[in-house]
Amino acid sequence: MQKGLIQVTDSYERIVHWMLAISCLCLCVTGLGMMFQSFNFLGIIVGGLKNLKLIHNFTGLIFAASLILAIRMWWKEAGVFVFPEDLDWIKTAGGYLWHVDKVPETGKYNPGQKLFFLTVAACGVLMLITGLIMWFPEALPTSLVRWMYPLHALGFVVIFAFFFVHLYLGTIGNPGTVPAMLTGWMDRAVLKKQHPGWLKEMEHNGTLIVSGEEKKTSHHA
């Protein structure tokens, strides 16, 4: 491994991330196959729409487990906005929409990433609840079950849109960030540019792990 890289994620974080991402993508694809006639051919590939629905439903269980793990793991850092730091970042839109000489520093996750996390968490829970009711419709009156379908579709549209925004910002939009969720390590220059506040925090707390170096213990109270 190249020396000087900084560890930004551990194996558990990466496993949960990819479980959530892959199951989410699978649900989007299989959901499209059931929702729109033009995508019904996806059912033919797996032996029919009945099989496609089975794949969709049981993939939903994997998504549910990974979503719960993700919320438990990231809520403290990504689920709560910190003021005034996050507000300063929001005022400049993080430098994404117009030129900013100096983007305000934030913690491990900036407000944009927090918004994405909260959106996925909220819409994910919405889709799990509506999906379970659609799976077992006898649990509620028919008049209520009918509402589950448009709510489920709404959650799908939001997550589907945010999925591609996240994909863009995690690759082309922010070059050098992909290794964070592939290997767990990131170049110091990229980390300093993307998360300067978090880098300073790790250095101050003595939690910075650098490849090729022994971990230093913190002497701060």
Residues 6 or more apart from 174 whose CB is under 8 A from it?
194
| SS3 at position 78 | helix
Domain that holds residue 127: 6-205
pLDDT score recorded for residue 215 = 56
- Tokens in use for 155? 């959650």
Asked whether residue 215 is assigned to any structural domain, the reply reads: no
Asked whether residue 1 is assigned to any structural domain, the reply reads: no
Asked whether residue 108 is assigned to any structural domain, the reply reads: yes
Hey, which bits of the chain come out as E strands?
A: 6-7, 185-186
- CA dist., res. 140 & res. 146, Å (int): 10
pLDDT score recorded for residue 220 = 47
- CA dist., res. 111 & res. 12, Å (int): 23
Backbone angles phi and psi of 196, in degrees to 5: -60, -35
- CA dist., res. 79 & res. 117, Å (int): 7
In this prediction, the residues of the chain whose per-residue pLDDT falls under 50 are 217-221
Residues 6 or more apart from 181 whose CB is under 8 A from it?
9, 14, 17, 18, 170
Global pTM exceeds 0.75? yes
175 preceded by cis ω (within 30°)? no
Asked whether residue 212 is assigned to any structural domain, the reply reads: no
pLDDT score recorded for residue 20 = 95
pLDDT score recorded for residue 218 = 44
* Amino acid code (one letter) for 83: F
Asked whether residue 211 is assigned to any structural domain, the reply reads: no
Whichever domain contains 131, its CATH number is 1.20.950.20
- Tokens in use for 117? 């996390």
- CA dist., res. 44 & res. 9, Å (int): 39
Looking at the DSSP bridge assignments, the partners of residue 6 are 186, 210
Looking at the DSSP bridge assignments, the partners of residue 210 are 6
Task: Count the domains in the chain.
Answer: 1
Residues 6 or more apart from 113 whose CB is under 8 A from it?
78
- Tokens in use for 130? 């509506």
Asked whether residue 213 is assigned to any structural domain, the reply reads: no
